[in-house]
Structure 1
Amino acid sequence: MAWKFVLNLYCYVLRSEQTFRVQPEDATGIYGQTILLRCEIDDLIGQVTWTRDGFGLGVDRNLPNFPRYRLEGSEKLGEYTLMISNLQLEDDADFQCQIMATAHFVGMFTRKAKVTVYIPPDTPTIAGDDPIEVEAGEPFNLTCYAANGKPAPTLTWSTGLLPVTEQTYYTIEDQNDGKRQNTTSWLTIIPKKSDQGQRYYCEAKNEGTVGRPLRTSVGLEVLYSPEVSMLVLPNHQRVKEGTSVKFTCEAVSNPSEVTWRWFRQAEELIGQTSGVLAQKVDRDWHGAKVQCEATNKVGSTRQSVILNVEYAPRFTAGPEHVAADVGDDVVLSCTVDGNPEPTIIWMKKDSMKILGSHKQLKLFGVREKDFGIYVCKASILGFNEIQMHVHLLMKGPPKILSPPEQSSRFGETGVVECLSMSVPKPNTILWHKDGEPIDFEELERYQNREEDLPDGKRSIIEIISVQDVDYGSYNCSVENGYGNDTLSIIFTQKEVVPLEYVVAGVLVGVFLIIVAAVVLVVYRRRKSSSSDSGSEISGDSIDKKDDGMPYKVEYNQSGYGNLYNVDAWKSDADKNLYRHSAEYDELNYVPKGASMV
């Protein structure tokens, strides 16, 4: 038993002399680099090996199964430093230097040395084509992606020299190997038109990118809807009616290709597809909104102007004649339109006194002398003045103005007319023939129609294919609440002029025309010779009488020929037939052959 004790004591003494002089330290390295893990041993007895995550690499100093590994140093000096070339991801592990056990000694291990391998990420990429199409004013996310980094790469944004730190977001994703990571970063931008061509840079880096940062960039193609400007010649704020106006629209946009449309108010002007619209404007264009619309693939933009078209005054309604009794209050109206607003004046006909300057003329407590014709004049500078006559009529009994004798040819369609003037208009017009009421429903050849006039009524009997029985006496009766009137009309047969008379009349007319032409030629020759002698005839007026009818002849000779103006003076003896007949002079409703009193 003594010899065993001595042997164990000897072995203990020998083991205590075999020690690690230098143990490996934790190490870091970049992918592809070379690192050294030192291991030095004093009084080595056994064999030395290295383990990676507990797996032995072998005792041969050349480590043939691991071509990137080998032991460096002097074996005699106990140097067993592990050199790892071309660091790979698998080298990211725990390493130990180990003295292997023998029959008499147990194995020995150094502490674990943690080897950390830094792997730079792949070159980052920005999603989308270069340049990226963005819309001005619309938020857009630029996306940058960097993969396979260890540790996770950090992504930063810039516009070249200026960093961009606002509105950035990122996420980190672990890969299946549990060591590498991917990073995605978003940059939210709101591009402006001025950002056209701007480049954004994304830079990726981690501990593995020392000295060689990785970055990529992308440019912006800023798209924006058309910015439209409009030029109007002449100035749209003052355009005269009938003027041709040229509207020119121009657009700045990206893309620059645009299509054009034109609108008047909300209605599209079909066929107008260019940036120029030429339009002759009238009063209907006054106040109209004229719009041009430019469209590209981003959107549409409109530009508009409102036209101020100056146009001549015009009456928008016919004259509204007014009937009244003495003492009534009345309003005369003159409905007129124009641009600018017309100037209005009211006067009584044949008077220069201005009575009002508004569209309505108010007369209070009218007197008998106030009845008559009033003139509304409307004017705008630069346009012709217009005027309208409005009658203020005195209410009274009706007066029939038709001629007492009317005729028609046998076999033709005959007409018997009864024209009644009064204010108010007649309520009824009754017809009798030869003392008997006419039943128009029973007489198929007789048709009766009535026409309302501004200050009266006309009743007409049309007789189809006039026969002998249709000629005779017709009686027309009218009534309007102020009184009544009756007229007996003799309907006679119109004589047919023989054809030979017609031919003779035509021949005589032709002869007279020839004679007049000869006289005119002779006169001009004599006039030419007399003017050469310096003679001059001044204008004179000679009053003459012919068959008791007074008339006045005015003549004036100057240049070529005489200018005659014959104005027959009619007697006023029949004016008392109707007190206010002057008010109707301009209504022009008197039938052919009738006399207006």
Structure 2
Amino acid sequence: MAGNRRDAFIAVRGRVNGNARLSTKWTPEVVCLLALLAGCHCYQEQRFAMEPQDQSAIVGSRVIFPCRVENKAGTLQWTKDDFGLGTHRNLSGYERYRMTGSDEEGDYSLDIRDVALEDDARYQCQVSSGLNGEPAIRSRYAQLTVLVAPEPPRIIQGAFIDATEDQPIDIECVSSGGKPASEITWVDGNQAVIKNKDKKKIEIMSDGQRFQTRSVLRLTPSKENHNRTITCQAQNTADRAYRMATVHIEVKYPPKVSVEIKSGLEQGKIREGSEARFLCKVDANPPPLKYIWYINNDLVIGDYSEEMIIFNVTRKHHLAVVKCEVTNKIGKRDKTVKLDVTYPPSFLNKPQNVEAEAGKSAILNCDVDGQPPPKIRWLFSEPGRIEQVRAKTSTHTVYVTNSTAGRYICKASVEGFPEIEAEAMVFIKGAPKILSNRTQFGSEGENARVECLALSVPKPDDIRWYFEGREISAVHDPDYATLEESLPDGTISSTLVIRASQSKHYGTYSCSVTNEYGNDNAAIALKPLRTLPLFIILVGVTSGIIIFSAFIILVVLCYRRRRKKNRKINEKPDVTVTTGDMYKESDRSSNISDLKPQLHQSDGSYELDYTSSDRSDIKAPSGLPLAGPVSLPGMRHDDTLLQFRYSNDYSDPTYGDPYFKNQAGYVYDYPQGYVPPPNLRVQSPAQLDVPQNRSLQGSLTRSIDTASTLPLSASNGSQNNSLQRTKSPEETDAINSLGLPVDGD
């Protein structure tokens, strides 16, 4: 050990000698080493290996302040705000305080459990001086900041606030007991932060450690804030969760109005003549009390509320402003809508005839009203042709030439309505031209008129009349009067009226028309109308009637004579068909025309020919038509013979089969094998005077022989559809002459 001390001393000495200047600061190691060399007792200085640091803790939490000491020689204790807590590890008197660790480790950390607000202080670890004179040591101060969460905030105005739109209100929120002081944030019902600047005030509470925060929010409520909530959120570092207080706002506001067209609207427009309904939508708190409607600021008369009706929309309503005004206890508001009315085109000013010199321009105006604005097109019309011009505006400029002068048509159209049109003429200025007929007529004793029709553009300055070279003055001559008329086509008509014209007034008249471009004259001959005397007219009419009547009588006589001649040529043998006693006795004296059956012709038809014969001297038995006798009252005997000359000269309303006419008469066109209908009736003239000694030839007596029949069709053998005959030799010869089968052949 002595060797060690010597070596240490040599080292110290060498260190001292090696330095140019000896430091005046002596470290504990150096001091202890010098003390050992001098033979004195040496001690080690006590020091802190770890010192406490500032900390923050929430009430109820746990805090440990570290304190480690090396070469501890004195007594260690913790102080709170420089007040000693004790030297024993259990720190009696402070149930929540104690020193942790062990002496061997030199750990004397202060453990504070269930931190309370009173623990907020400055803490220090101290070690007293040792027995060998070790100096006392103190650690740095460590501040314990105790954090306290604020109490739930509260709103001074309460849970409900009545507000009026656009009238500012103050909402005050108070957050107490926080340490540090609370931060207050305002949010709306959608959790969006209200960025209005609020007034904040922080006050320290009576305990001197906690704080109270006041925040005043100034809000100008609107309809959007009605039935919404506003929340005050308070928070400090002691609590991560917000503490909140909520207020419900009821905002009273004047009516919020909107107007819409409920019916009558078509593609955003209202058609003229339709009915339009308007709806006034209102949002108000409190509900609306009164509705008032206006059209162009004119009060609408009627008991209208939410809905107003215009029963007949006219073009006067176009661009009209319809306003709905609504009132409640808070105020009055209104809303308007502008009408867009469609209506058909109409002429405000139709185009007028224009006059211009050749080579200059003429302007045609076509002023048309309509909604939407009418589409206008111009047409140039000349005889036999209509040509569309390029102009599509209400004004059309025409460069006047012989080819462009004439009639122009302005057509205006609005979609959904009929097109309208109007026309105007473009005239070329020039000398007048007289167009009247050069020969005119009048009646003596009556008013006669002489017309002078002239085309004159511009209108004539002077029109004069002359008779036989002498000028006529209607003012001084009472026999004459003049009438003038302007026609739309640019012509002028001047009529000279001659009162109670006489023969001296008839002759040659001259018409002279003058305008600024020249003059035209025309000679017009006025001639009297010659009328025949009434006696001559009556004689002529009577003679004409007599001649015409004589001609008619002659034609009738010739016609009858010709028919009689033809009847004699076409006479044929008679066929008698008897019917026994199936008819009345009174009918046996009736004679009818001959029946001529033509069977099995080339077309398979049968011809029945009734003829009359005046040459017969054989008394004919009375005949009966197939359907019985039919009399024709009121008919003369001679006419009856003529009427039933041919086979089809009768009318049976129950039979309508087609027939054709040949030179011999009318022939029924029956199909081959056709059975005539049972209701076929052959009408014969009644009351016909025939001599009793007329022969059977050329006449027909109608009877039915039940014993012998002549079938008309092989397919039907009934009596109703057959012709029956007598079996006299004369009849047999007559029938054979017609080519009919006899005795069933």
Please give the TM-score of this superposition, normalised by the length of structure 1: 0.39
**Greater relative contact order: 1 or 2 (C-alpha under 8 angstroms, separation 6 or more)?**
1
| Structure of higher CA gyration radius | 2
Structure (1/2) with the larger strand percentage: 1
